[in-house]
Amino acid sequence: MPLKLNEAITLFLSVRRGFETCLLNEIKRNPRLNCIERIHYKRTDTSNDLPSETQPDASNQLTSIIDLGSTRIKRYSDDKWLYIPNKEEPSVTRKDAPVTTQTQRIKYVDKCKIRLQAGGLEVKCNRKWLIGCVLGLRSVESVWLRVGIPFRCQDGLDVTHRISRLPWSQYLPPVPIEKIPLRIISRHSSVWSSVVIDECVREGIRSYLNSNPTAGTKSYIDPDDFCISVTINRNTCYVAVQCSSRLSPRHFNFGNKTSNIVPIKPKEELVPLWSLSKTKLQAYLEARQKVEATRTSNQGVIPPPLSAGENAARNNSLERKKFIENQNLICTDKYDTADVLVAGILHANSLFKALKKRPLRVWNPFCGNGLVISEIIALILQLPNFTAENPPSTLFRDLVLEKDIDLYNSVLEDHMKPEPQDTKDVEIVGSDTSLLNLSQAAAKLNNLYSFYSPLIDKVLRLPLAVSLHQVNLETIAPRMYGSTVITKIPCINKEAGTEHTYETIKAYRLFGNLIGSRSDWKGVFAIVGGRAFEYYSGLEWRCIAKANNARGGMIKLLRWTGKGKTFKSPEERLEQLNELDFV
């Protein structure tokens, strides 16, 4: 293996707070990434023990002559004092922070060290492991590459001076400094203002560019997928850059280049959808596309082709924003675009073991837009995040291996070959009462197949049985004998009105009655937000995993214990009813 791939780097894998263990499980189950030397599960604070020379010694205190004029007094406990002989102390001079340059000795590693932190994993690894994690880990929100080494800072001038000594020429893309987004976090530090830190960081980067004219930046790219993270914790500053693009939503939803190469029209898209809501939505989307096309032509800007390097990355970013806006327009659930969240939930131990059993029949009674089904298919087939026709961004390639393009392509090709999986006895069934939701699920599955068609042996179909049905729960439930139920429960939205709330609660009760009336289920798992479903379903659930978001909301993975829910007293029932949170 070339030494360039073994060069030591430090990463931070960002994940939803609470799902760090699920991400660690995914790393352990990946044969290409399971080269772990050590795992630090919890950061332990070092105790300030006294050195041996300051420990009390009865013999020395009785026999030695103490001169209070030439000694220092140090208190080491509540009721004892020590007399420490005065020593000749050398003069202490403040040294500048070390400069991280390419001429320093480079460290090479073969294995990685992982430290669990709140909101992600800190990994000390090599460049090959970095490529593997961006391609293979599906429960990662984004990957951050550390710049230089952490440093101490006491004020704004100190931050500016230390930032200017970091090797920014290796990490900055051709982006103007004023447009680079910054993510600033300060905890228990003397420099706490985000405005001051923002100005100091940008001033430090300008100072570095002025002293290094060859590292100048250009100003023709919109930095949507690039960000600089500055975290100051107890006056220690950690600087990192986002080396991977945002991995959620999945790129096959909006950035598929395979469809431009092989224009295949799936038969499912030719089926007419006689739905008023679908027609209204389609008319709205077409009208907005015409308005945007007219606005672009008036400005004299022609959208670049998808194969045009950095312009393709910008186009993908715009398509990503459009996809999220469309999903928010159609659905009221904010988790309908959280592909990474569902992928992390699937790596919970009990749910992962259930998906590894054969034969396997998975039933998703609330199919929605097909988010859960697509992630289950990707997990069973071990599909990567990118393909050869849809590679990672050019920025990621420049940060990892800028000069060795052939070596970078060979590593990508090696990691993009999924191992053959046993899918003979696997069946996935999705059902929903909304034709609009089923049409979105069918479109998502078609996009998934089109994106990964070079990696799939089957022609015009997925290598496992997948079916979607527009049917009520009570009609399809008797036919799902011996199934594993995995679904994302629809949430209750206050803004939707009383009628929507009543229909959702009615679906909760019906689902609870159907599940509780039978004992042939291989397992029942539910992804929920809030506590309304646990109350109205009438079943006893056990929380397997839960995560918090930045706004304080919580999403949980529940498993049915096989029992009905009982209350000890009417007061307990009323108390739980008052604690319900309708999101």
Sign of CA dihedral 355, 359, 365, 370: positive
Give the bridge partners for 237, in sequence order. Answer: 151, 232
**Burial tier of 126 (Cβ tally within 10 Å: 0-12, 13-18, 19+):** buried
As given in the structure block, the two tokens for residue 375 are 């992630």
What is the SS3 assignment for 217-252?
Answer: CCCCCCCCCCCEEEEEECCEEEEEEECCCCCCCCHH
Taking a C-beta distance cutoff of 8 angstroms, is the pair 539, 491 a contact? no
Using alpha carbons, list the distances in angstroms from residue 130 to 126, 177, 416: 7, 26, 14
- Which region holds residue 148: left if phi is over 0, alpha if psi is between -120 and 50, else beta? left
pLDDT one-digit tens code per residue, 543-565? 999 987 656 678 899 999 999 88
- Which region holds residue 530: left if phi is over 0, alpha if psi is between -120 and 50, else beta? left
Q: How confident is the model at residue 249 (pLDDT cuts 50, 70, 90)?
A: confident
Sign of CA dihedral 237, 243, 249, 254: positive
* pTM (predicted TM-score): 0.79
pLDDT one-digit tens code per residue, 414-453? 888 878 888 889 999 999 998 888 988 999 999 999 899 8
Domains of the chain and any CATH numbers: 3-42+96-242 (3.30.2130.30)
Largest Cα separation within the chain, whole Å, is: 101
Instruction: Output the pLDDT for position 55.
Output: 46
Q: How confident is the model at residue 412 (pLDDT cuts 50, 70, 90)?
A: confident
Average pLDDT over residues 275-293: 57
Average pLDDT over residues 250-265: 60
- CA dihedral (136, 142, 148, 149) in degrees, to 10, reads -100
The larger pLDDT score, comparing residue 57 to residue 124, is at: 124
Q: Name the pairing type of β-strands 36-40 and 81-85.
A: unpaired
pLDDT one-digit tens code per residue, 65-87? 444 444 444 444 444 444 455 54
How far is 566 from 583, CA to CA, in rounded Å? 25
**Burial tier of 451 (Cβ tally within 10 Å: 0-12, 13-18, 19+):** buried
Q: How far is CA 210 from the centre of its chain?
A: 35
- DSSP-derived letter for residue 64 is S
- Which region holds residue 335: left if phi is over 0, alpha if psi is between -120 and 50, else beta? alpha
Instruction: Output the pLDDT for position 487.
Output: 96
Instruction: Please state which of the ranges 42-56, 338-352, 372-386, 460-474 shows the lowest mean pLDDT.
Output: 42-56
| pLDDT higher than threshold 50 for residue 308 | no
| pLDDT higher than threshold 70 for residue 208 | yes
How far is 25 from 140, CA to CA, in rounded Å? 12
DSSP string, 296-345: HHHTT-PPPPTTSTHHHHHHHHHHHHHHHHHHHHH-S-TTTT-HHHHHHH
- DSSP-derived letter for residue 7 is B
Q: How far is CA 47 from the centre of its chain?
A: 34
The larger pLDDT score, comparing residue 365 to residue 318, is at: 365
Average pLDDT of the chain, as a whole number: 78
How far is 476 from 479, CA to CA, in rounded Å? 6
Instruction: Please state which of the ranges 109-113, 277-281, 482-486, 501-505 shows the lowest mean pLDDT.
Output: 277-281
How far is 22 from 417, CA to CA, in rounded Å? 24
pLDDT one-digit tens code per residue, 163-195? 999 999 888 887 788 888 999 999 999 999 999
Instruction: Output the pLDDT for position 172.
Output: 86
pLDDT one-digit tens code per residue, 144-166? 999 999 999 999 999 999 999 99
Q: How confident is the model at residue 343 (pLDDT cuts 50, 70, 90)?
A: very high
